[in-house]
Structure 1
Amino acid sequence: MLALLGGVLTATHQAATAATSAGQEGADPDPALTAASVVEVAGGDGDWQLTVDGEPYVVEGLTWGPPADQADSYMPDLASMGANTTRTWGTDASSRPLLDAAAANGIRVIAGFWLQPGGGPGSGGCVDYVNDHDYKGEQLAAMNTWVAEYRDHPGVLMWSVGNESVLGLQNCYEGTELEAQRVAYTRFVNDAALEIKALDPDHPVTSTDAWVGAWEYYEAHSPDLDLFQVNAYDAVCGIQQAWIEGGYDRPYILTEGGPAGEWEVDDDVNGVPEEPTDVAKAEGYRAAWDCLMDHEGVALGGTLFHYGVEEDFGGVWFNLLPGGEKRLSYYAVADLFGGQAPANTPPVITDLAVGGDRTSVPAGSEFTLSASVNDPDGDTPTYEVLVNSKYIDDNGALTPADFRDNGDGTLTVTAPGRPGPWKVYLAARDGQGNLGIEATSVNVVPPPVDGTNLALGAETTASTFQEEGDGAPFLPEHATDGDDGTRWASDWSDPQWLQVDLGASTRFDTVQLYWETSHARAYEVQVSENAQDWTPVHTVTDGAGGVETAAVDATGRYVRVLGTERGTGWGYSLYEFGVYAS
């Protein structure tokens, strides 16, 4: 076992020290910006530079995460890191507090305009850039409105039209139509650039996309963009060679980059992408920045990802201060930008491991978690264990798990009640506003039941079943086939039932229901000798889904689950329905 060093294990989340509190010592941030600037892309032929009022300007920044109306609370901290720039994805009436706070702290903003479809989660619906002239007209009008509103604001560095839409269009089209849409989109971006420049000749216009594969479209169809932008994450060190091989004629800014994302890493034994450690993430930012700065005269700087405060799945993966708590990556980026030296740094967790077989952990059972934790400043960490079900139901929330300290450097953790692959996080807090957090996974399975499953392979019928949808048909017999990868699903109405014919009147003592997300809030397990007259043997009025196991003393040939109230807006759905006799 690996020891937990220098810590006291508690289930209580210690209050986070605000990200804006004192915690670094050193030079003051840049003075406030009080007047609009003239920003230009100067030079050429591999010897470009960005200038602000004629002075060289290297973009050293982070993408912006907190709400715009909280910018005055967080922007001083961003400035203390040595950042001179932040980047947004949208600009509208709500942007003024962010621009005001940025300017007050010597920070300039790459002001974005969102266009559908972006490339990542939550990116919006599909748009027909060939034919939907109304959408394009509406977007141009909105961009013109906000450029006119903010063009004289001292916080504006440049305008950025769209984010990853060349990539995102592949989710809407294919083949020759996809090609036509990408051409139409990048031509529209150029139209936007021309209109923005007519309103504001003093700030460059650019557009960003995922990786450099989109640049050939901008090169051919967006000649009026002043520079390229690219989101690259763990692939930053390949941009320079790709730029050379592509023969491109414009410089670029990195707009999202740093450690590897979940799409760039290998899966673990449970099929869960292996999240880099805090140490690896910090090194990822350093490596990305070194490679970017090595492309002299072409790479004009970048905004690393991400100055965010969300404390969910994505927040733990990417944010420098989830929940307002600073991580190793926060201090690594501050060091890159010449920010204030830290007075205290986070606990470092290494060698996080699950004892035993983490591919088969019974729901509600206990498993062992171990790790080594070291606090560089000698602070006594407190701990929290959290779990996340993203790879079951795409839910990003982190939920505290019950655990206890065994006193020997290990934790005993209670597994979630719902089967499937769960991420498990160990968080260590030093009481100084710093956070160390690492992740692993366990695959939760239905708890074993003593005896013989009489329903396995038995004739199974239902009131209804869904014949359409991804994975359909969702047949009744899927609930008794012994395969957790198949399921029965009913129509979206009450009541619904699933019935098993045991072949003869049989006594049984346990039932187990393994629900999909579409579970029953209220249901009965009933028995019958003739499939007409039913007697309830188990009643639930507050079902929560997952795996529900109940002891009964019942006899019958037919066993039925009668759902009377759904727990979701969908129907009823069971992966497995077991009827056991010991």
Structure 2
Amino acid sequence: MPLKLRGVLLALFCLLAACQPQTSENVDKTLSTNVLQAIPSTLKFEQGRYQIYRGDSPYFIKGAGGSSNLPLLAASGGNSVRTWGTDKAQQVLDGAHANGLTVMLGLRIGHERHGFDYDDKAAVAEQKEAVREQILKFKDHPALLVWGIGNEVDLFYTNTNVWYAIEDIASMIKELDPNHLVTTVTAGIDKTKADFIKERVPSIDYLSINIYGGLENLPQHLLDIAYQGAYVVTEWGPTGHWQIAKTDWDVPIEQTSTEKAASYRSRYAAGIAAAPERALGSYAFLWGQKQETTPTWYGVFTEAGEPTEVVDSLQYLWTGQWPEQRAPAITSFRLNGKPAADSVHVNLGQTNEAEVELIQHDEQGLSIRWEILAESTDIKAGGDRESRPQALSGLIVAQQDNKLTFTTPAEPGAYRLFMYATNPANKVANANIPFYVDVTAKN
């Protein structure tokens, strides 16, 4: 673009921005990110409860982890996003700001399980310096709400010196950026960890906890371990793959999207909404899609970016209203007449039948897609990156309406049958059934 034309456009943009009315609803959106201006966030204890303030206004976090489709997050009633690092921080901060959202900006620090040694003073100092650079780079962005130091560094750890390193970073952040809150994120919480944090990390403003099954008991659990401070649940959602029932060949049985949506609603009510004196809000996991055990376990979108029933449930939790167009719901899903809980076995050369029963929230039709994958063998811990199994081709014999006929894969072993039901609003219900291919009959 010619320099002169660029100048004209910039002047026009500035003139239009100056004419925008500065109401409480649009002040965040109209702040210029070219001249950065931090909006202070503080934590206060008043009238027997903890409360975040953003500027002069009370702020309750209605957030999600991940930065996909920020306009939909805002339209669904969300107000904040969480990142795990600063790799795309400028893009995320700018995108959040444009949509009236705030950001919990993650600061990656080393994990013992990945080989980081918290007894290595030089490595710890180098890490702190790298964090310092990130703080100075992003501290004045108007979308910034809170700094999150690390993510589950306590997972499978033995060296408790990590807490001293986190405190060193937290106290540094307080000096460099007095305008924003500081926290650290744990994998669940027990009394030992809570005591270490209270003793060794006094500079954080509140505790952030990742918890799935068990969230419903969190408020009482925190009191039982003598933690009475404020908290944010920074990952929550479906029952974790390590917590759920398994087949007789020892693979976890994933909830359907309908079961997940119900879990989100009940766990939020019991673990977050039920503790208004201490719970400052939450970040649901995951506002996006990822392969972790399966391609559908944790993401609230499909790989194609289609929202599932969970997105509808989050809108209901954040706003008290269901969307006008809702995702379909699953009432039954069976393979050869059996649900996933029955540990379905099939034989080599066998023809199999699957059937799903669905509820539509309108009179429009559904499009159903089926997929067969080998069971993933690339299973990691703590959300580390996993590879997705490839879909198997040539097995589907026929599909009509809500029924599928397919032949057994040619090799014995563990597989999953996936079902995706999409309505005209591009919303999805999904589920899968694990099945095991035997050489000889098991049932």
Query: Which residue of the partner structure matches residue 193 of structure 1?
Result: 170
Between stretches 193-202 and 366-375, larger displacement belongs to 366-375
Q: Which is further off, 361-370 or 152-161?
A: 361-370
Q: Write out aligned runs for 1:5-404 (5 A).
A: 32=29, 34=31, 35-43=37-45, 47-66=49-68, 74-92=69-87, 94-117=88-111, 125-129=114-118, 131-169=119-157, 178=158, 181-182=159-160, 184-213=161-190, 214-291=193-270, 292-310=272-290, 313-322=293-302, 323-338=304-319, 342-355=323-336, 359-363=344-348, 365-392=350-377, 394=379, 395-397=387-389, 399=391, 401=393, 402-404=395-397
List per-residue Cα deviations over 1:128-179 (Å, max 9, x = no partner).
21x212221221111111110111101100101011111231xxxxxxxx2x
Instruction: Look at both structures and tell me which one has the larger radius of gyration over its CA atoms.
Output: 1
Q: Give the length in aligned residue pairs.
A: 396
Aligned letter for 1:110? M
1:516 counterpart residue number? none
Q: Distance in 2 between matches of 1:368 and 1:40?
A: 57
Which residue does 2:435 correspond to in 1? 442
How far apart, in 2, do the equivalents of 1:51 and 1:398 lie? 47
How far apart are 1:280 and its partner, in Å? 1.5
Q: Which has the higher strand share?
A: 1
In the TM superposition, residue 410 of structure 1 has moved relative to its aligned partner by 3.3
SS in 2 for 1:258: coil
Change (3 A) 1:400 1:431: farther
Q: Which runs of 5+ in 2 are unaligned?
A: 1-24, 32-36, 380-386
Distance 1:312 1:128, change over 3 A: closer
| Structure 2 SS opposite 1:166 | coil
CA deviations 1:277-301 (Å, max 9, x no partner) are: 2222111111122121111221111
CA drift at 1:81: 1.0
Q: 2:170 and 2:370 mapped to 1: Cα distance?
A: 49
Cα gap change, 1:144 to 1:57, in 2 (>3 Å): same
Shift, 1:341, TM fit: 5.1
Q: Cα deviations across residues 372-418 of structure 1 (Å, max 9, x unaligned)?
A: 12322122212221123344454533625532446596321123333
TM-score by length of 1: 0.64
Quickly say closer, same or farther: Cα 1:105–1:426, change in 2 above 3 A.
same
Identity of aligned residues (%): 26
- How many angstroms apart in 2 are the aligned matches of 1:286 and 1:29? 30
Secondary structure of 1:303's partner? Answer: strand
SS in structure 2 opposite 1:343?
Answer: coil
The SS at the match of 1:158 is strand
Instruction: Give the unaligned 5+ runs of structure 1.
Output: 1-27, 67-73, 119-123, 170-177, 449-582
One-letter amino acid of the structure 2 residue matched with residue 317 of structure 1: W
Shift of 1:108: 0.5
For 1:310 and 1:446, locate their aligned partners in 2 and report how far apart those are by CA, in whole Å.
33
How many Å apart are 1:311 and its aligned residue? 7.0
- Cα gap change, 1:416 to 1:217, in 2 (>3 Å): farther
Opposite residue 100 of structure 1, the aligned amino acid is D
Q: Following superposition of structure 1 onto structure 2, how do residues 455-470 of structure 1 map, counting pairs within 5 Å?
A: none
Output the CA distance in 1 between the equivalents of 2:352 and 2:162: 52
- TM-superposed CA distance for 1:202, in Å, is 0.7
RMSD, aligned CA? 2.5
Contact 2:41 2:181 in 1 (8 A): yes
CA distance in 1, matches of 2:353, 2:332: 13
- Cα pair 1:311 1:398 within 8 Å, conserved: no
1:428 maps to what in 2? Answer: 421
Q: 1:309 to 1:266 in 2, by over 3 A?
A: closer
- How many Å separate the matches in 2 of 1:370 and 1:113? 46
